[in-house]
Amino acid sequence: MNAQTYTEGLAELRTLRDDVKKTAAALARLEAQRDKTVMALAAHDKAKAERIAPAAGLSIAAVVALAPQLAPQDMDITAPTPAAAERTPPAAQPATPAPDTPTPAPLQRPTDPATPRELPTLPQDTDTGRWFTPTSGLASQYPNFTQNAHPTVFLDAATGVLVHRDQTLRLDLGDRSAAAILTAVFHTVPHTIQRIYITAGAPWHRDADRYPYLRDAVAAWLNAPTPGWRVDTGRGRDRMAGHFVHARNPVARYQRENGDHHVEIRSTGEWFDLDATDTPGIVRDAFRLLWEELRRHFPDAVVLGSPSQTGRDLWTRTIPRRGKHADGFPVLSEELRGLLHATAGQGRNELLTPPRIPQQLPALIEYDRTFAYAKHTWKSPVGTPRRVTGQTFASWSAKEQHDALYGCGHWHIRVTVPDGWNHVGLLPAPAPGERAWHYPASPGATFTTWAGGPEVHTALTNPLQPWKVEILDGILWEAGKPLDEWSKKLKETWTNLSAQAHFQGNPQQARAAHLASRAVRSILLYGIGSFAQRPRMVTGTTPRAMERDVPPDAEIVGFDDELITWQKPTGFARDPNAHPEWAAAIWSSARAALLTQYHRDEDTYAGALHTPPGTVVAFRTDALYLTQSQNWPYRHRPGDYLLKGHLSGPVNAPTSEEELLTLRDTGRQNLNSTPEEA
């Protein structure tokens, strides 16, 4: 690029900036007019939220937030605001993980909201026994079938390059609709193909400029006509049916109208991030290496459609067939699963802003915990839990209390930040919004929350100043190792592939090995997330002319001139591998390790609490952003803090997630980091 082109590009960018501002202003005016109209309609004596919601393109909760008098009698009126209930514009939407995976929450400002959401508690009546009784006839057991592989092709939807086994072909994809892709692929490859991985081109975004939100564009692409095909309804043991609407990594599932041929179109973005030089051939080699290395440790390993599916399938093949757990691992009651879903957060995502940090930072340094969750799978809760009331806990000896908090528990607590505290918050507290958390740190602040044993133990024994924590109630399990063998095998697979990426002389094979190692990370990370088993969401469509037929508890996620696309929760499935207690324990341990982590070999500690006050800028799942360098040990082991980025100051303190990510990317480029180590 020459200087003239660069200057012209800047001019074009300024024009686009102004257009974006105008569009945003127009959108804000339209939304304000919509909200005003909703409130006006709510004054009608026969107004109903379930009628107004589809007409406005909002969820019922968003309508009720504008007009609380419309709340159904059985609805909690502490609904999210309309802005929170709506979709995120593409320009502000960060990269998102794969379907069936844990979703990182946006960075939360460390503020003290006036009305935090209220967390559920254990019942105080005779229902307690039912809550603590496992679901009847449901337990995780070793599978009695062999998993079948799905023949797969890899397609660059931008160039039309397709790789099938060792063949590389170029297809004419026409308008890149699902129908055009299916037609082009099956005119070229055998009809036994069951999976089409898109490596580049994101065809579901082809009409993104016609829609205000990416999700709308994706829904329209998925729901477009596909002559000769219909939406898959599932088969046999494969209960995955219907399309999965996701802004970045959707899944399209089809079945021949006159046959039993099933095929899915999905994104490799579920597994790893690709760059412009990653051809479908390199991606094919990455999946081949992944399968070969998994087979060394899991003899019957099959790479399924997503990392979460693959992770859980591999785990089931490590379930003991003899010994204490030969009858399987019981599944908690639906009540306890619901409580854990509402009270056990995922990764810590928090941005600290001035005056808690300087307006001008001397530097911004990123430390990322390598393969972090693999560090915390050696101990997990097993069996039927028991309730520990606050009164019972108070009656125990100091050793019994220590053992309980160091064990496998989930605790309802009242927390007080000690006087004189001048560092980051230690325990999550509920904030307004669905599954939103913040971390109070103001001296004297008191709040009630739920937290895992590792975090409670850290708050009581942290190296700076113990916090006051009162146990109100709790759930305590026996400690076991249900994930240990699975995790060890995945760690060995990751280590082998990482070594290949480092020592492989062929650049393309080295890149394939690196991608395969990242896929192993995804298998473990998203496999753990899948144990959490969130309530199922069903996606459907209703003709615009029949909008009153939209289910009353559905959220509108997209609409055009013909169809309204909606989704609604349908409760928990009877999933024999639902273990939110395992995911909650690992997430709690990982959040605690961001604060303090002991390195036995070096007899030293790492983590946020081992930095000077005012030097922590942000937490982002497994990463810490600091203003000072740290001499923390790094031995390429899971959980170690890797120096990932370094940006010399002065640096303006970021005030939003977008600003932080921009600084992060610049810091990584400046450090010239080697992603193969991460």
Residue 73's pLDDT is: 44
Mean pLDDT of 293-305: 94
The whole-angstrom separation of Cα 514 and Cα 521 is: 11
Mean pLDDT of 572-589: 91
Residue-averaged pLDDT of the chain = 86
The whole-angstrom separation of Cα 538 and Cα 617 is: 39
Q: Which of 28-42, 567-581, 601-615 has the highest mean pLDDT?
A: 601-615
pLDDT band at 324 (very low <50, low <70, confident <90, very high): confident
Residue 110's pLDDT is: 46
The whole-angstrom separation of Cα 48 and Cα 477 is: 46
**β-strands 329-330, 139-140 pairing:** antiparallel
Mean pLDDT of 298-304: 93
Residue 125's pLDDT is: 72
Condensed to tens digits (0 to 9), the pLDDT of residues 641-675 reads 999 999 998 999 999 999 999 999 999 999 875 44
Residue 659's pLDDT is: 94
DSSP bridge pairs for 626: 365, 616
Kindly state the helix (H) or strand (E) to which residue 597 belongs, with its residue range.
Answer: strand 597-599
Residue 42's pLDDT is: 81
The whole-angstrom separation of Cα 111 and Cα 439 is: 8
Condensed to tens digits (0 to 9), the pLDDT of residues 504-546 reads 889 999 999 999 999 999 999 999 999 987 766 677 778 877 7
CA dist 477 → 386, 406, 409 (Å): 7, 11, 6
The whole-angstrom separation of Cα 544 and Cα 547 is: 5
Condensed to tens digits (0 to 9), the pLDDT of residues 427-440 reads 999 987 666 899 99
Q: Does 147 score more than 80 pLDDT?
A: yes
**CB–CB of 383/478 below 8 Å?**
yes
pLDDT band at 676 (very low <50, low <70, confident <90, very high): very low
**β-strands 195-200, 152-156 pairing:** parallel
Condensed to tens digits (0 to 9), the pLDDT of residues 225-246 reads 999 999 887 665 555 578 888 8
**Does the predicted model carry a pTM greater than 0.85?**
no
Residue 655's pLDDT is: 92
Range from 90-104, 440-454, 469-483, 621-635 carrying the lowest mean pLDDT: 90-104
* Amino acid letter, residue 611: T
Q: Does 81 score more than 80 pLDDT?
A: no
Question: What's the longest Cα–Cα distance across the chain?
Answer: 77
Kindly state the helix (H) or strand (E) to which residue 478 belongs, with its residue range.
Answer: strand 468-480
Q: Does 93 score more than 60 pLDDT?
A: no
Q: Does 268 score more than 60 pLDDT?
A: yes
pLDDT band at 111 (very low <50, low <70, confident <90, very high): very low
Residue 326's pLDDT is: 85
pLDDT band at 79 (very low <50, low <70, confident <90, very high): very low
The whole-angstrom separation of Cα 409 and Cα 520 is: 28
Residue 1's pLDDT is: 66
Mean pLDDT of 118-137: 86
More confident residue, 395 or 436: 395
DSSP bridge pairs for 438: 429
**CB–CB of 466/459 below 8 Å?**
yes
Q: Does 71 score more than 70 pLDDT?
A: no
More confident residue, 361 or 548: 361
3-state secondary structure of 601: coil
Range from 202-206, 386-390, 413-417, 556-560 carrying the lowest mean pLDDT: 556-560
447 φ, ψ (degrees, to nearest 5):
-155, 160
More confident residue, 425 or 38: 425
Condensed to tens digits (0 to 9), the pLDDT of residues 452-505 reads 999 999 999 999 999 999 999 999 999 999 999 999 999 999 999 999 999 988
The whole-angstrom separation of Cα 317 and Cα 302 is: 11
Q: Does 98 score more than 80 pLDDT?
A: no
